[in-house]
Amino acid sequence: MSDTKEIIKDALSLKPVEKAKLVDQVLSSLDKSDREIDELWAKEAESRADAYDKGKLRSASLAEILEKYK
C-alpha cells in the first residue's frame, strides 16, 4: 500500500496536462475485454430483451427519463 501512496503523491505533483495524460493511460488500461464480464452482460441483455418481448418490461422514452430527474 505504501507504493500506491507514493505513486499517488507523485501523480498529484504533476502538471495538469501530465495528470490528464496519466489518467487517460490508466483508464485505457482498464478498458480491456473480460470474457466473463462480457458473457454476463450478454446474458443480462438477452434476459432484458426476453422480458420486454413477454411484456414484463416496458420501454421508456428519453423525455420520460429526463422528466424523472428534473
Residues 38 and 70 in one domain: yes
Q: What's residue 38's pLDDT?
A: 92
Mean pLDDT of the chain: 93
- Domain region containing 7: 1-32
Domain count across the chain: 2
Q: Is 68 buried (19+), middle (13-18) or exposed (0-12) by CB count in 10 A?
A: exposed
* pLDDT tens-digit series, residues 22-56: 999 999 988 788 899 999 999 999 999 999 999 99
Residues 55 and 23 in one domain: no
DSSP secondary structure string for all residues of 19-60: HHHHHHHHHHHH----HHHHHHHHHHHHHHHHHHHTTSS---
